[in-house]
Amino acid sequence: MRARTWEPVVGPRATGPWARRASIALLVAGAVAVLVPFAWMVSTSLKPEAEVFRQPIQWVPRTTRPENYAEATTLIPFWRYFLNSLIVAIPVVIGTVMSAAAAAYAFARMRARGLRVLFALVLATLLLPGEVTLLPSFLLFRELGWVGSYLPLIVPSLLGGGAFNIFLLRQFFRTIPLAHDEAARLEGHGFASIILRVVVPQAWPAIALVATFTFVETWNDFLGPLLYISDQDRYTLPLGLNFFKDIYNTQWAHLMAASLLALLPCLLVFFAAQRAFTEGVVLTGRKG
């Protein structure tokens, strides 16, 4: 696989300069439309509450209130929730990457009786809506005494890391020449060592991609914490924001400030992993 960089693709598809200009105009207009809600969020988060619904709408606040941010983080225990979200997301990302990579390596590069059947089962679970297993899983975790803790949110990620991630990593691992494994094996490396020394370094874009998606999904997950976490001190950010909305539902400026702060880690992770990200998406596509 040739690495595709974050460069503009020089397309031969665009015909005349007119079509090219029209395309650019449409693309830029669309991008502006995508950014407008974000801009509104930033703008609102800096307004005094009384100015939020002023008509006609104000893009630039008459008085800027950066204090909204500090106040928003004390109206609800924001940083407590932030920490809780991290406490869930970090083990989930690590567990997902490790267990999905392990399974993907076996499916991509090893031969053993029954592996093909197992891989077909992995693919079959892609079509299974989570709701089917949701209630018995809840009962199972309740039986185990895990309800109220983060275990139901974390432990499943250690067990396979999700069908799509296995599939994505397997596709990527298959593009690495098998000769590299053979060479490492002749040098006396075992499978674990081959995965770490040969596969991981070459597959880092795919691994970064899985890690990014997993972080974003876990960070934004609402249903999981909603089912399992009821103690307010243990709320993750999505639960905390929803709680904020329920109790201070008129304080839009503060709510937007808190929401924006809650989004930042996802944006940071996205920008950090961006190069790997586009490479991987272009290779495989992904529906989350």
| Window 250-279: residues binding another protein (CB under 8 A) | 252, 255-256, 259-260, 262-263, 266-267, 270, 274, 277-278
Residues in binding contact with another protein, number by CB under 8 A: 103
First to last CA, the chain: 24
Nearest to 211 by CA among 265, 163, 270: 270
**Does residue 6 bind another protein (CB under 8 A)?**
yes
Q: Are 218 and 94 spatial neighbours (Cβ–Cβ below 8 Å)?
A: no
> Residues 20 to 79: which contact another protein by CB under 8 A?
20, 23-24, 26-28, 30-31, 34-38, 40-41, 44, 53-57
**Does residue 174 bind another protein (CB under 8 A)?**
no
Interface residue with another protein, options 50, 120, 136, 186 (CB under 8 A): 136
Sort residue 65 into left (φ over 0), alpha (ψ -120 to 50) or beta. beta
User: Alpha-carbon distance 23 to 108, whole Å?
Assistant: 40
Q: Are 174 and 1 spatial neighbours (Cβ–Cβ below 8 Å)?
A: no
**Does residue 188 bind another protein (CB under 8 A)?**
no
Nearest to 214 by CA among 134, 94, 68, 84: 94
Instruction: Tell me the two tokens of residue 286.
Output: 């992904």
- Report, in Å, the least distance between residue 214 CB and another protein: 13
> Residues 211 to 240: which contact another protein by CB under 8 A?
216, 219-223, 226-227, 237-239
Interface residue with another protein, options 111, 145, 186, 188 (CB under 8 A): 111
- Report, in Å, the least distance between residue 55 CB and another protein: 5
